[in-house]
Structure 1
Amino acid sequence: MLSSFKTYIQLEKNYSEHTIRQYEKDLEDFFLFLHGEGIERIEEVEYLHARNYMTKLYHVKLARTTVSRKISSIRSFYRFANREFGLSEEAFRSLYHPKKEERLPQFFYEEEMETLFNSLQGPEPLTVRNRALVELLYATGMRVSECMAIRLKDLDRVVQIVKVTGKGRKERFIPYGQFAHDALEQYMETARPKLMKRKEHDFLFVNSRGEALTDRGVRHILNECMKKASLNSTIYPHMMRHTFATHLLNNGADMRTVQELLGHSHLSSTQVYTHVTKEHLRNTYLKTHPRA
């Protein structure tokens, strides 16, 4: 059943490799739990077992978002197995589905971004690469995984547009501005050839050994950039995406355009940024109005 389900989400649903691995891990964890409970056949699973599993997830102090994702993975599997193999999905049908925490995304203020960019000056190949990377992430709001997958052929350097492959392997085209263009041109003309060190591939961003940059590598680069800029804020790669969306909305962009640029399937995913901008407006009002 699991093998058929993997084929289904890979070929029919067209999910990314990362998403498929996540589904597989969630289901294998659930099967291990069943084995520990002495259940050797999936047909024996009842509501009580599903409830006990969710209780176990909370007991190990997983976040509600993680529990919610795991339950969604299992439910998707059960729906598929019900349709293809006649497996009953009663065990999870009436299970309470935890809601996500209402957490506002963190972002950088425009002044902080300016400080960050000012710290990324210099002719050293890694510094030039870091500036190009940060400029492109901020200019496009793309996910770090999308950025790492960019190849040289995906950049239209004349009209300043980059082709991005997002979730579900959906392609979208994102424009980028003059600052990002100049930083990318300098990187590709001067820094990238020096970093490649006889390696042959067409990934845009490379590490000091000439290999394709990884998500972990980006996290390390951003942390080092923050230290260099003497900024005390914590940073994680997705904050650049949050910052991109927040700054666009703060400066008058309409939500549909931001949704398109971010590659969100549903407008509700983009609407969280309106809460950020409202909070920003409220804080500014409280700080500046004489009778606030």
Structure 2
Amino acid sequence: MSLISPQARDALQHWLETQKSLKGASENTLKAYNADTVDFITFMTSYKSEPQGLAALSRITTRDMRAWMAATRGTDVGARSLARKLSSVKSFYRWLSEREGFEPTAVLTIRAPKFQKKLPRPLAVDAAKAMIETVEFQTPHAWVAARDSAVLTLLYGCGLRISEALGLTGADVPLPDTLRIFGKGGKERVVPVLPAAREAVQVYLRVCPHPLEPTSPLFRGIRGGALNPRAIQEVMAKARMQLGLPATATPHAMRHSFATHLLSAGGDLRSIQELLGHASLSTTQAYTAVDTARLMEVYDRAHPKA
């Protein structure tokens, strides 16, 4: 932050506080916003050889923006990452221009680089079930096996993020018919709990050696502390090698599988959006592309081109 003027630093901090209080931005999002905008202002300070106070920032031109984007790409930053950085800068400029009363067109009209959006990589139904069963054989400890199976069952059966599953506490058990989940940015949603998920958690609780208090984390590490997401990532890595599944078979892929399989079974996008806690329907629509892509694979196998 040393290359940023006090005015710009104070404005940036105020903007971040606004994003948190009014828009519920998560800590990770705020860190990304801060890093992206600091990089931008730091570049402009060096590029223009003068401190970038609010007046200087209001005079940024289209040429300046292109110079920043070119320099950023020159540091091996990919198109997707640059698009994210540009989005952060534009968001900051929308707020700053309204506050300071200047025209932000030069910044807001710059187009993000094009990139191929990555589709979610769900597992097939039988592969998702096999993954849940196989993680149980990766440890000599019966309670750890039950724990890992329970976590994956929640990811696949309820569409939870790994952070949401590991955020459950003793106050959440026995699991009710529906769970109230607080996801990204504190966004609240209610998800139904399948009997299989409820039973998997109960099996784990019966063999877990660590006492469970209402405020204690539900899923525990070997020494009794909160379970680290890395442990689930590692056990899935072992299981997918045994099953011959690709590296995309991660904890988040279980959530993708939940959504894709619901869509294939006739679920509507709005309902799936609510179950996943997506702020925008466009995020959920990615699963439509996945479903279409799979349909085309089946079509191509059935009707090979000459």
TM (normalized to structure 2)?
Answer: 0.84
Any idea what the Cα deviations from partners look like across 1:124-179, whole Å, max 9, x if unmatched?
121111101111000111222322323333456242x2221122311111112122
2:205 aligned counterpart, secondary structure: helix
CA distance, structure 2, for counterparts of residue 72 and residue 286 of structure 1: 38
2:94 counterpart of 1:79: yes
2:40 counterpart of 1:23: no
- Alignment match of 1:40 (pick from 51, 61, 76): 51
CA distance, structure 1, for counterparts of residue 305 and residue 198 of structure 2: 45
- Alignment match of 2:245 (pick from 232, 256, 259): 232
- Alignment match of 1:49 (pick from 59, 64, 74): 64
2:271 counterpart of 1:257: yes
Q: Any gaps of 5 or more consecutive residues in structure 1?
A: none
Q: Which residue of 2 aligns with 1:280?
A: 294
Root mean square deviation of aligned Cα: 2.6
Deviation at 1:103, TM superposition (A): 2.5
Q: Which residue of 1 aligns with 2:7?
A: none
Any idea what the Cα deviations from partners look like across 1:153-209, whole Å, max 9, x if unmatched?
3456242x2221122311111112122111111112322xx256x999422222222
Q: Any gaps of 5 or more consecutive residues in structure 2?
A: 1-10
2:25 aligned counterpart, secondary structure: coil
Q: Which residue of 2 aligns with 1:151?
A: 169
Any idea what the Cα deviations from partners look like across 1:74-93, whole Å, max 9, x if unmatched?
11111111222335524412
CA distance, structure 1, for counterparts of residue 34 and residue 230 of structure 2: 22
Identity among equivalent pairs (%) = 30
CA distance, structure 1, for counterparts of residue 162 and residue 148 of structure 2: 14
Q: Which residue of 2 aligns with 1:172?
A: 189
Over 3 Å counting, the alpha-carbon distance change for 1:163 and 1:255 in structure 2 is same
CA distance, structure 1, for counterparts of residue 109 and residue 271 of structure 2: 38
Kept in 2, the 8 Å contact 1:218–1:237? The answer is yes
CA distance, structure 2, for counterparts of residue 81 and residue 245 of structure 1: 38
Kept in 1, the 8 Å contact 2:128–2:254? The answer is no
Kept in 2, the 8 Å contact 1:155–1:162? The answer is no
Q: Which residue of 2 aligns with 1:135?
A: 153
Any idea what the Cα deviations from partners look like across 1:213-243, whole Å, max 9, x if unmatched?
344343223223324x433311333211211
CA distance, structure 2, for counterparts of residue 92 and residue 217 of structure 1: 43
For 1:226, the aligned partner's letter is R
CA distance, structure 1, for counterparts of residue 70 and residue 182 of structure 2: 37
Kept in 1, the 8 Å contact 2:135–2:235? The answer is no
CA distance, structure 1, for counterparts of residue 75 and residue 231 of structure 2: 29
CA distance, structure 1, for counterparts of residue 163 and residue 272 of structure 2: 19
TM (normalized to structure 1)?
Answer: 0.87
CA distance, structure 1, for counterparts of residue 94 and residue 173 of structure 2: 40
For 1:231, the aligned partner's letter is G
